[in-house]
Amino acid sequence: MSHYKAKFASFGMHVPKKVVNNFDLEKIVDTTDEWIRTRTGMFERHHCTKDEAATDIAVVAATKAIESSQVKYKDIDLIITATVTGDYNFPSASCILQKRLGLGRIPAFDISAGCTGFVYALDMAKQYVENGTKQNVLVTGVDILTKITNWKDRGTCVLFGDGAGSTIVTRAERSDISEIMDSITFADGSLGDLLIQEGGGSRRPASHETVDQNLHTIYMEGNKIYRHAIKSMQASTEELLKRNKMTARDVDWVIPHQANLRIIEGLADKLRVPMDKVIVNIEKYGNTSSATIPMAMAEAVGSSKIRRGDIILLTSFGAGLTWGSILARY
């Protein structure tokens, strides 16, 4: 039995200035605007410049989330950042964010769960708040996948964009209508090789050889992941709804990971949710990994599409492989 309820206080997002559209990509690899649009639903995405790193955009998203909430900087007591492309292997992006936001000596750590990172981070933040250990957790999803993209691989390089999204998970009053009701997370490490950055870790530390073999960029078996994506998001969503005695009909908004419009439509079809209840912004940002869900939330809340009291369902899948879902009343 949890002592307290957790809720979303606010959301904020930020993307780098540079916009790259499908026609720009036609000049880099053997692809077409038509292929990218019809196979993925993407049209443009934002890329960091050579000098921009993860916390440069995360700090803006976090600032927007904090300033659009009632929470004061001094009352934030934990930072969790979901990323696989922090500024450095260490220290963590969360520790850098703590310094850049001028926060106190509060604990700060990153989690690595690929594109499911934000869902994993929310799952943790919720528990810290519910058990009373923390009251205001800054949760950010940020990824700069364009820095680890193989620009010769047309199967991956057209998909990714850079971005950051943040939320404050805060303690809710018992009487509050808003609540993060439940969360569920999974992993299947036996599928880890389907999406991997092999070089740079302790197994294949950076060397001339790893650079020559292109091991510092993303390797992905796209169509195997595609099949897993719909199944895993459907299964975690249905299990979560079932144990809360709800069905997809009770959900006002589904906010899925934005990896491919066809995956999103396939999921909506399986859940029997009409597409006008699904938040989609993939055409503008591409796949920003752990940032897609908080960015979609920030836009939907910012435009008042999602309002206080709406039932929302966040669901994601990613490297690991990992997947999971969050059920909340915004």
Just list the catalytic residues: 115, 257, 287
Minimum gap (Å) between residue 151 Cβ and ligand ACO? 12
Minimum gap (Å) between residue 236 Cβ and ligand ACO? 15
* Of 32-40, 43-51, 55-63, 238-246: span binding ligand ACO (CB under 6 A): 32-40
Q: In what order do the strands lie in the sheet with 108-111?
A: 5-14, 162-172, 136-144, 78-82, 108-111
Give the residue at shortest CB distance from ligand ACO: 222
**Which of 79, 259, 267, 279 lies at the binding interface for ligand ACO (CB under 6 A)?**
259
Rounded distance, CA 235 to CA 321, Å?
14
Tokens representing 62?
Answer: 């976090």
Q: Give the torsion sign (CA, 49, 121, 245, 305).
A: negative
**Which of 12, 16, 86, 114 lies at the binding interface for ligand ACO (CB under 6 A)?**
114
Q: Is the Cβ of residue 16 or residue 318 nearer to ligand ACO in the bound state? A: 318
Rounded distance, CA 305 to CA 253, Å?
9
Q: Is the Cβ of residue 187 or residue 220 nearer to ligand ACO in the bound state? A: 220
8 Å CB contact between 260 and 226: yes
Q: Is the Cβ of residue 18 or residue 154 nearer to ligand ACO in the bound state? A: 154
111 lies in the binding site for ligand ACO (CB under 6 A): no
**Which of 122, 229, 241, 298 lies at the binding interface for ligand ACO (CB under 6 A)?**
229
* Total interface residues for ligand ACO by CB under 6 A: 23
- Residue among 116, 290, 146, 143 at smallest CA distance from 218: 146
Q: Is the Cβ of residue 78 or residue 254 nearer to ligand ACO in the bound state? A: 254
Within 153-172, which residues bind ligand ACO (CB under 6 A)? 154-155, 158
**Which of 10, 85, 232, 287 lies at the binding interface for ligand ACO (CB under 6 A)?**
287
DSSP secondary structure, 234-250, as one string: HHHHHHHHHHTT--GGG
Q: How are beta strands 108-111 and 78-82 bridged, if at all?
A: parallel
Amino acid letter, residue 103:
L
* Of 6-14, 88-96, 225-233, 271-279: span binding ligand ACO (CB under 6 A): 225-233
8 Å CB contact between 217 and 195: no
Q: Is the Cβ of residue 103 or residue 282 nearer to ligand ACO in the bound state? A: 282
8 Å CB contact between 87 and 162: no
The half-sphere exposure of 175 on its side-chain side, counting CA atoms within 13 A, is 0
Q: Is the Cβ of residue 10 or residue 322 nearer to ligand ACO in the bound state? A: 322
**Which of 115, 129, 139, 296 lies at the binding interface for ligand ACO (CB under 6 A)?**
115
SS3 318: strand
Classify residue 304 as left (phi > 0), alpha (psi -120 to 50) or beta: left
318 lies in the binding site for ligand ACO (CB under 6 A): yes
Mask: binding to ligand ACO, 41-60, rule CB under 6 A, as x and -? Answer: --------------------
8 Å CB contact between 57 and 162: yes
40 lies in the binding site for ligand ACO (CB under 6 A): yes
Minimum gap (Å) between residue 318 Cβ and ligand ACO? 4
Q: Measured in Å, how far apart are the chain's first and last C-alpha atoms?
A: 22
Within 184-203, which residues bind ligand ACO (CB under 6 A)? 195
260 lies in the binding site for ligand ACO (CB under 6 A): yes
Q: What is the dihedral of CA 11, 264, 127, 243, to 10 degrees?
A: 130
Rounded distance, CA 273 to CA 268, Å?
5
Contacts with ligand ACO, residue ranges (CB under 6 A): 31, 35-36, 39-40, 114-115, 154-155, 158, 195, 220, 222-223, 225-226, 229, 259-260, 287, 289, 318-319
